[in-house]
Structure 1
Amino acid sequence: MTQGSAAGPGPVTRAPYCRKPYVRARLGRDGVDGKAIAWTHSEVQVKWVDRDGAMRTAWVPAAAVRRISRDDSAWHDPYDDYGFYYPGGTPGSAPGGGPDAAK
């Protein structure tokens, strides 16, 4: 696992604030759930929280990363825009949805 800038060809793309997709990435022998914060054609910059609670980022080969749903992730970003992940509202979702939104 290396940290730094992307070495892949092409421009770096970033998702809008609070709308970064959840991913599962293979880092050596370990797998992590996190968010894709940037990507090129060949690499994805993944952000996740490690076992000690520290925020980490690393550029990972795109072949070692797959998109997952927020619900399938072992980690949930506390700054999520819940409406983006649950546009129709889902039980248990935060602001803007779910059966408790009007309470």
Structure 2
Amino acid sequence: MAWVYLLLAGLFEIGFAIGLKYTEGFTRLWPSAGTVVAAGISLWLLTQALRTIPVGTAYAIWTGIGAVGVATLGVILFSESASPARLGCIALIVAGVVGLKLFSPA
């Protein structure tokens, strides 16, 4: 169950980070409220995962899910660069996250 918590925490981290773009510096009420809620849920889920998964592994995977998700949505939603070099770097993050999951004792 800890891995499910961690996956969900990462997904809510994506929502939190993308939400920051829509808050316009926390000047828009509903995007700001949604962003704060997503951040809170993400952190709560992360704390649940940390009951079982080592902190270094969990934090690296949490941030990796967030980084890959936000970079991908940046390309889709905000027309950010999808250069081969950038996609290669995203792939390296994915490889690191998968490696941590495969070699984690939890």
Please classify the TM superposition score into its range, dividing by the shorter chain length: under 0.3
* Greater fraction strand: 1
TM-score normalised by the chain length of structure 1: 0.24
TM-score normalised by the chain length of structure 2: 0.24
Relative contact order, higher structure (CA 8 A, sep 6+) = 2
* Greater fraction helix: 2
